[in-house]
C-alpha cells in the first residue's frame, strides 16, 4: 500500500533522510521509533508533501501511484492523513466548521457530494464522545486555548471523521495520560481493517500497548536501521537508543 524507496530528504540544504526504505502493506500498522532529531517528523512531512521538504532521491507511492508530484491537498484526497506532533491553533474558525470544510474538500476532490448538515452533526457528535471532547469544545475556535491533551483528542477526532486510507500519527502519545492513550488506541483499532494502513511514530513503547503494531522499525541517522516485531519496542524501552545512535554515526 505505502511504499517508500531509497528516500532522501533535504531541509534547508541539510540532508535529513538518507536513503530510507519502508513498506506498509494494506491492513497493517507499523510503528516508527527513533531518538529525538532522527527525522521521524521529517518522514511524516515528506509523505504528506509539506513545503520545504525536498525529495532529492527516491520515491513514495500509495497503491502503486507516486505521490511526489501531488500537492498536500491531492494527497489528502487520496486518503492520507497526518496527525501533527504540534497541532496548530486557528483563531476565528469554529472547530465544527473547520472539520466540515476539510471533510467537504476531500469529498469534492473525489467527486462526491457534500455531507449534509444533519449527517455531519450526527457523525461529529458520536465521534467527539469517543475521543472525549464536549459539544461545547466543538463550537469554540479550533484548538484555541485547548490543553495539549485536548489538541491530541482533536487530532483523533479529525482522523475519525476523515476516515483516511492511510493514517500517520506523529507522536500523538506525547503528553497524554493513560486514559488518553487508551482513547487513541480505541480510535485506531476501531478503524483498523484489511484495507487501511497506519504509521505510528513514537518515541516511547507505551502507546504500542494500546495500538499493537504488526512491525516496528527503528529510525536513526536518516535510515531504518532495524525492523522486526513488537519485541523491538520492548527492547528499546529497556536499553534505549544508544546502540542505534552509535551504529548510525
Stretch that binds ligand ADP, among 6-14, 68-76, 98-106, 151-159 (CB under 6 A): 6-14
Tell me which DSSP letter residue 47 carries.
Answer: H
Is 223 a binder of ligand ADP (CB under 6 A)?
Answer: no
Please report, to the nearest 10 degrees, the dihedral formed by the alpha carbons of residues 188, 63, 42, 182 taken in order.
0
CB-nearer residue toward ligand ADP: 12 or 242: 12
CB of 68 vs ligand ADP, minimal distance in Å = 19
Strand ranges (DSSP E) for the chain? 2-11, 14-24, 29-33, 54-62, 65-66, 80-83, 90-94, 141-142, 166-170, 197-202, 215-220, 223-228
Q: Decide: 143 and 151 in contact? Cβ < 8 Å.
A: yes
Q: How far apart are CA 16 and CA 8, in angstroms?
A: 7
Residues 8-47: x where in contact with Mg ion by CB under 5 A, - otherwise, as a string: ----------------------------x---xx------
Is 48 a binder of ligand ADP (CB under 6 A)?
Answer: no
Is 240 a binder of ligand ADP (CB under 6 A)?
Answer: no
Q: Which of 4, 41, 151, 198 is in the footprint of ligand ADP by CB under 6 A?
A: 41
> What is the contact surface with ligand ADP in residues (CB under 6 A)?
11-12, 14, 16, 34, 36-42
Amino acid at each position: 500500500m505505502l511504499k517508500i524507496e531509497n528516500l532522501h530528504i533535504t531541509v534547508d540544504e541539510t540532508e535529513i533522510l538518507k536513503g530510507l526504505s519502508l513498506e506498509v502493506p494494506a491492513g497493517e500498522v507499523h510503528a516508527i521509533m527513533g531518538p529525538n532529531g532522527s527525522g521521524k517528523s521529517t518522514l511524516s512531512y515528506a509523505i504528506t508533501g509539506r513545503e520545504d521538504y525536498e525529495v532529492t532521491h527516491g520515491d513514495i507511492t500509495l497503491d502503486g501511484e507516486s505521490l511526489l508530484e501531488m500537492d498536500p491537498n491531492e494527497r489528502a484526497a487520496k486518503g492520507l492523513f497526518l496527525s501533527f506532533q504540534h497541532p496548530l491553533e486557528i483563531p476565528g474558525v469554529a472547530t465544527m466548521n473547520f472539520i466540515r470544510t476539510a471533510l467537504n474538500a476531500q469529498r469534492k476532490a473525489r467527486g462526491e457530494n457534500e455531507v449534509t448538515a444533519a449527517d455531519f452533526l450526527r457523525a461529529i457528535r458520536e465521534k467527539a464522545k469517543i475521543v472525549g471532547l464536549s459539544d461545547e469544545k466543538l463550537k469554540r475556535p479550533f484548538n484555541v486555548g485547548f490543553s495539549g491533551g485536548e489538541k491530541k483528542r482533536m487530532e483523533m477526532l479529525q482522523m475519525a471523521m476523515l476516515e483516511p486510507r492511510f493514517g500517520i500519527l506523529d507522536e500523538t502519545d506525547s503528553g497524554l495520560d493513560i486514559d488518553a492513550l487508551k482513547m487513541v488506541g480505541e480510535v485506531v483499532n476501531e478503524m483498523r481493517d484489511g484495507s487501511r494502513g497506519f504509521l505510528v511514530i513514537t518515541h516511547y513503547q507505551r502507546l504500542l500497548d494500546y495500538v499493537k503494531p504488526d512491525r516496528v522499525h527503528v529510525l536513526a541517522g536518516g535510515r531504518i536501521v532495524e525492523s522486526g516485531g513488537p519485541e523491538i519496542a520492548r527492547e528499546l524501552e529497556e536499553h534505549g537508543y544508544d546502540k542505534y545512535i552509535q551504529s548510525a554515526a
